[in-house]
């Protein structure tokens, strides 16, 4: 520390200054440390880029005319890996400043002319620090909200998962069925080129598509003989019951269409709403074929699982009637060319 130099206590904000004139860097060091900032001075712009890459700084003061590269090139490189650094550009003269279009494009927050006095620069720095403080507070709040939402989402998922296990305990057929429908739905979604968010919706929707069976009497779920018309009508209420169970939780809003409409038919003869064609939610149309495939390839109390050739033929026959033709063809392509993926799912989630 230089003799008689007074430093204010650090306010925690880190500033890096880049100027190929060592005298400017030294002057800024004294001035900013007295103002309470943690200061780093660099005379080589290429070194400055690496310092920013490897260390945290809140604000950069950057000279424009430098060797071997000018300040705008420094910013251009930094913006490739750091979009948040607050940058103030210093110019020897305002006529030497880069065009306003360049300043905006590179997201430079401000600039001022060099001067023996740093009053204007200090005002710009203080304004920048206030913006940084607000941005940090917004980040903190968003992180807290995100953590809270994740905890809430997990609590809801755990609660509904418990209900799902209760359904599986009631209905032996459901055991493993929902996991397979979930996995088949994701497989189809991948074939159709859906996004990761969409695949997540399909995965969760498949897991909970039969949650409404919690409201179906055991005497119907466990009946081994043919159901009466009244009993079948009772079974057909499970999609609406499932949608009602999930309707008050915001976290499940995207999967409710799957739960409610996975028994609709493309020709409009399904339930509960007799939706037709593309009026049926897209993800529900995917879950429909996954659900039907698992039903046909699973052993039931009244029949064995169907051979895969018969299942293929049944799907082909029902394209455009029970199933969306495009989705059905995508699934047939999986059955014909990637059947090992189907077998892997069956191994992972046995009945």
Q: Which CATH class is domain 171-348?
A: mainly alpha
User: Taking residues 38-50, what's their average pLDDT?
Assistant: 95
Rounded to 10 degrees, what is the CA torsion of 172, 306, 281, 215?
A: -20
User: Which of 73-77, 141-145, 299-303 holds the top average pLDDT?
Assistant: 73-77
Alpha-carbon span 228 to 118, nearest angstrom: 89
Q: Which CATH class is domain 14-140?
A: alpha beta
Contact call for residues 261 and 284 (beta carbons, < 8 A): yes
**How confident is the model at residue 6, as a pLDDT?**
46
- For residue 287, which of 235, 249, 246, 323 has the smallest C-alpha distance? 323
List, as one string, the DSSP characters of 71-92: HHHHHHHHTTT-S--EEEEEES
Contact call for residues 346 and 181 (beta carbons, < 8 A): no
Per-residue pLDDT reduced to its tens digit, 285-331: 999 999 999 999 987 766 788 999 999 999 999 999 999 999 999 99
User: Taking residues 147-171, what's their average pLDDT?
Assistant: 74
**How confident is the model at residue 340, as a pLDDT?**
95
Average pLDDT across the chain, whole number: 86
**Length of the chain, please?**
351
pLDDT higher than threshold 50 for residue 163? yes
Domain ranges in the chain are: 14-140, 171-348
Does 106 or 52 have the greater pLDDT score?
52
Question: Residue 53's pLDDT band (boundaries 50, 70, 90)?
Answer: very high
User: Taking residues 270-274, what's their average pLDDT?
Assistant: 93
Phi and psi torsions of 84, nearest 5°: -105, -20
List, as one string, the DSSP characters of 129-163: HHHHHHHHHHHHHHHHHHHHHHHHHHHHHHHHHHH
Contact call for residues 160 and 252 (beta carbons, < 8 A): yes
Residue appearing with tokens 């590179």: 106
User: Taking residues 160-174, what's their average pLDDT?
Assistant: 71
Phi and psi torsions of 211, nearest 5°: -60, -30
Rounded percentage of the chain residues whose pLDDT exceeds 90: 49
**How confident is the model at residue 212, as a pLDDT?**
87
Q: Among this protein's residues, is 213 annotated catalytic?
A: yes
**How confident is the model at residue 1, as a pLDDT?**
39
Angle between helices 325-337 and 282-296 (to 10 degrees): 50
List, as one string, the DSSP characters of 244-293: HHHTT-GGGTTTHHHHHHTT--TTS--SSS---GGGS-HHHHHHHHHHHH
Per-residue pLDDT reduced to its tens digit, 182-217: 999 999 999 999 999 999 999 999 998 998 888 888
Q: Which of 83, 213, 226, 236 is the catalytic position?
A: 213
**How confident is the model at residue 42, as a pLDDT?**
95
């Amino acid at each position: 520390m230089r003799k008689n130099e007074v430093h204010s206590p650090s306010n925690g904000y880190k500033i890096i200054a880049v100027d190929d004139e060592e005298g400017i860097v030294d002057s800024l060091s004294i001035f900013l440390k007295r103002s309470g900032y943690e200061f780093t001075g660099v005379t080589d712009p290429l070194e400055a880029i690496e310092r920013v890459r490897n260390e945290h700084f809140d604000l950069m003061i950057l000279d424009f005319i430098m060797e071997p590269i000018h300040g705008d090139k420094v910013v251009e490189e930094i913006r490739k890996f750091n979009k948040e650094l607050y940058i103030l550009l210093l110019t020897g003269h305002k006529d030497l400043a880069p065009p306003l279009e360049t300043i905006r494009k590179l997201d430079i927050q401000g600039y001022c002319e060099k001067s023996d006095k740093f009053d204007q620069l200090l005002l710009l720095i203080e304004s920048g620090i206030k913006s940084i403080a607000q941005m940090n507070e917004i980040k903190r709040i968003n992180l807290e909200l995100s953590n809270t939402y994740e905890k809430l989402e997990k609590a809801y998922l755990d609660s509904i998962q418990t209900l799902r296990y209760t359904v599986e305990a009631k209905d032996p057929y459901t055991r493993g069925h929902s996991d397979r429908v979930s996995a088949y739905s994701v497989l189809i979604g991948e074939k159709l080129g859906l996004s990761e968010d969409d695949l997540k919706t399909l995965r969760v929707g498949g897991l909970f598509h039969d949650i409404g069976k919690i409201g179906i009497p055991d005497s119907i779920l466990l009946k081994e003989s043919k159901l009466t018309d009244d009993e079948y009508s009772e079974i057909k209420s499970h999609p609406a019951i499932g949608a009602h169970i999930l309707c008050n939780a915001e976290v499940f809003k995207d999967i409710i269409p799957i739960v409610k409409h996975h028994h609709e038919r493309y020709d409009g003869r399904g339930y509960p709403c007799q939706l037709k064609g593309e009026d049926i939610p897209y993800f529900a149309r995917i879950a429909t074929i996954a659900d039907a495939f698992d039903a046909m390839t699973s052993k039931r109390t009244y029949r064995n699982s169907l051979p895969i050739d018969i299942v293929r033929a049944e799907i082909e026959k029902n394209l455009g009637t029970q199933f969306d033709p495009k989705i059905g063809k995508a699934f047939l392509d999986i059955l014909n060319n990637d059947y090992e993926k189907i077998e892997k799912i069956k191994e992972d989630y046995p009945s």
